[in-house]
Structure 1
Amino acid sequence: MQREHYGHTLPENMTEPQLEFVACPDNQDGHRMAYWLWGDAQAPHLVVCVHGLTRQGRDFDALARTLLERSNGRIRIACPDIVGRGQSDWLRDPNAYQVPTYAADVFAMLTQLHAASRIESLDWVGTSMGGLIGMGIAGNTQLPMPAPIRRLVLNDVGPVVNREAIERIGAYVGKSGSYDSVQQAADAMWALSTGFGAHTPEEWLALSRPMLVAASSRSADGRSKVVAEQQGGPYVLHYDPAIGEPIRALTPEAISQGEAIMWALYDAIQARTLLLRGAQSDLLSSATAQAMTERGPRARLVEFENVGHAPTLVALNQRQVVADFLLH
C-alpha cells in the first residue's frame, strides 16, 4: 500500500480500531450493531464511514489511518458493520434488510457516541449502500441529530441505481460457497470485484480478510463469530446470505418509487457534498452524476479512471481527495 507522511506519529492506540456495539430496536427482540471506533474517543469531530452492500467496516482502514495522520489524531472515526454483516447480528426478518433499518441503526450509534462525548462536527463517507443511508439521514431534516451532517461524501452512488447493476448484484449476493483458504476466497471475491480497480495483492488480501469467517465458528443467528486469522478453514463470507432477498424481490415499480424518494431526500440535503464516481461504473451513470451536480446540494464530482463500481478509497489519490474535502 502506498503511504504518505505528514510528520505526525500517531499514538499506538490510534493505529488500530476498537470494536464497540450499540443496541438497536426492531420488531423482534432487538439486535446489536457493531462498529469500529478509531482515533480520539473524546474528539468533537466525528467522521462516519459506511460500507457497501456485502462489505463491512474494516473496508475503511486505509482511509481512517490517513484521516488520523492528517488531523494529528484529533478526530474520531466510526465505521459500522451494518446489521447482517461482519461482527453485527443477523436479523430474524430478511425483509428488514433495507435502508430505513440501516439508517435507524446508525442513528442509534450516533446517539450513543454523542452521549459518550459531544459531537460538534459530523461528516459522512458512504460507499454505495452507505451513500444511500447517508442520503436518507442527511436529507431527513426532521431527525433530531446530535449535529447536522456538515460534509457528505457519496462514493459511486446516487438516487438512481442502474437496473442492470441491481440485477448483477442480485445474481451473486448470498450465493457464495465455502473456501479452503483465505487466498482462495480472496481470489474468488476478486473475480466479482474487478470494478474496484487495480490493487496490489497485499491491498486486496487486507480488504479480503475481514470479509471471512471460519464456517465452524458461526452460529445460526450470526453471533459467536471468529475472524479468519484466528481459526482454520473452511471459510465463508462474513454476512447473512439473506441480505440479498430484498434486492431480488424488487419490482420495476418499487425501483421507480425508490428513485423518487431518494431524489426528494437528495434535494433536501444541506451538507456540502462530494460525489465520487468510478469512470466505468455500471451503478452510477454519468447522467445521474451530472444531474447531482446541478440540483440539491450541487455535489462536486470527482471521477477516477480505470475504476468501476466502486472506488475502495485504498488508492493514495482516492484517499487524498476525501481527506482534503473533510479536513479543509
Structure 2
Amino acid sequence: MSSNPDFSDFFYAAPDGLRLHARVYGEANSAHWPVVCLPGLTRNARDFHELALHLSTRSALARKVVAFDYRGRGQSAYDPDVSHYNVGIEAGDVLAGLAALGIEQAAFIGTSRGGLIIHVLGAMHPAALKAIVLNDIGPVIEPAGLAHIQSYLERAPKPKTLAEAMAAQRSVHGQDFPALADADWERMVRAIYRETNQGLLPDFDSTLIDTVANLDLSQPLPPLWQQFDALAAIPLLVIRGANSRLLSQETLEEMRKRHPGTRTITVPDHGHAPFLETGNLPTDIALFLDQAEARKNPR
C-alpha cells in the first residue's frame, strides 16, 4: 500500500486475478463504521475525494473511507474480456477488496452504477451493509437518462487541454447543472481525465462504451424492486438531483413507500448525478451515518 498525504493507494487481486485499486482515507480510524464509496459507470475513486476527506477528518465521527476503482477504471487494470464489465462481477470485486482490507461490515455510498452494485451486494452479502446512501439511482432506471448517457459517451469529445475539457463537459451537462461554478467543473474534469504525453485521456477502458451502446432502449430495463425490498431493514438515504433524467420523482416516492424511514434529499440545480462534495451534502451524509450508527449501536 503506497501513501499520499490524504489517502493510501491499496492494490489487491480480484477473484480472477486482475489487479484492482482502491483509495483508503483515515486508515487508522477504527472506532466507527467504515464507509465504502462506489462510483458511476465510467468514473473512479477521485469522484469521492472531497467527501472522503470530510468523513475521515472533518466530521464529528472520523471514519475510514474506502473508494474503489472498478476494473477498467482509474488505477485498476483493464479487463481483456469486455463481458466482465458488469455489476455482478464488480460487486464480487468490491467484496474481494473488503476482504483484503479486513472489513466485514460498512456503510455504503453508491453513485449511479455504484447504487446498482449495492443492490447486488444486498443479495450476495446483506450482512456487509450497515447503512446505504444511494446517489441518484434506484430500482427503476429511466430510458431517457440512459439515452443521455449513451449519447454523450458515443460522442465523447477529445479535449487537449483542461480548458477544452471543462468547456466540453459544460456543453453536455450544463443544462442539468446550471449552478456549478468553474471550480466544480474543474474538479469534475480532473476526476474524469488523466494527463498523458498525448494530452488528456478519459480514465477508463474505452470498451466500456460498448456495454452501454449495445443496450436496446426500446425495451425498459428490468426493475430491481425485489432487490430493493431486501434492503428494507437497512438505514437508507436517497439523494436525487432535481434535474435528474435517470431517477424519477415517481420512483423516489415508491422507494419511500417500500422502505419506511427512508431519508431523501433533492439537490436543486443538479442533474445526474449530484456532486456529493457540494453545498451541505457532506454534512448531511455524515449526520445520516452518525445517526444510523447511533440507532444500531446505542450506548
Give your verdict on TM over 0.5: yes
Offset, 1:207: 2.8
1:206 to 187, 211, 222: 187
2:86 aligned with 1:98, yes or no?
yes
Kindly tell me: are residues 203 and 168 of structure 1, through their superposed partners in 2, closer, same or farther at Cα, counting changes over 3 Å? closer
2:37 aligned with 1:37, yes or no?
no
2:108 aligned with 1:124, yes or no?
yes
Kindly tell me: are residues 290 and 131 of structure 1, through their superposed partners in 2, closer, same or farther at Cα, counting changes over 3 Å? same
2:201 to 229, 236, 257: 236
1:108 to 93, 96, 109: 96
Contact conserved, 1:51 with 1:128, CA < 8 A, in 2?
A: yes
For residues 13-61 of structure 1, the C-alpha deviation after alignment (integer angstroms, 9 at most, x for no partner) is 88511111121134xxx31221111003462521001111121111111
Aligned residue for 2:238, secondary structure, equals strand
- Partner residue of 1:268? 230
Offset, 1:253: 8.4
Kindly tell me: are residues 104 and 300 of structure 1, through their superposed partners in 2, closer, same or farther at Cα, counting changes over 3 Å? same
Contact conserved, 1:14 with 1:40, CA < 8 A, in 2?
A: no
For residues 200-246 of structure 1, the C-alpha deviation after alignment (integer angstroms, 9 at most, x for no partner) is 32232123223222454xxxxxxxxxxxxxxxx42111111111222
Counterpart AA for 1:294: K
Identity %: 31
Counterpart AA for 2:68: P
CA distance in 2, matches of 1:321, 1:200: 21
CA distance in 2, matches of 1:177, 1:253: 26
- Partner residue of 1:169? 149
1:288 to 240, 251, 254: 251
Q: Give the TM-score normalised by structure 1.
A: 0.80
Counterpart AA for 2:169: M
Number of residue pairs matched? 286
2:270 aligned with 1:315, yes or no?
no
Offset, 1:177: 4.5
For residues 237-275 of structure 1, the C-alpha deviation after alignment (integer angstroms, 9 at most, x for no partner) is 11111112222222358744x31xx21110001311011
For residues 147-172 of structure 1, the C-alpha deviation after alignment (integer angstroms, 9 at most, x for no partner) is 53111000110011001111111122
2:264 aligned with 1:305, yes or no?
no
Structure 1 residue runs of 5 or longer lacking an equivalent are: 1-12, 217-232
Offset, 1:284: 0.3
For residues 74-104 of structure 1, the C-alpha deviation after alignment (integer angstroms, 9 at most, x for no partner) is 4210001111111111111212211101111
Contact conserved, 2:157 with 2:168, CA < 8 A, in 1?
A: no
2:215 to 250, 259, 273: 250
CA distance in 1, matches of 2:6, 2:250: 39
Kindly tell me: are residues 97 and 298 of structure 1, through their superposed partners in 2, closer, same or farther at Cα, counting changes over 3 Å? farther
Q: Give the TM-score normalised by structure 2.
A: 0.87
Contact conserved, 1:292 with 1:298, CA < 8 A, in 2?
A: no
Counterpart AA for 2:24: L
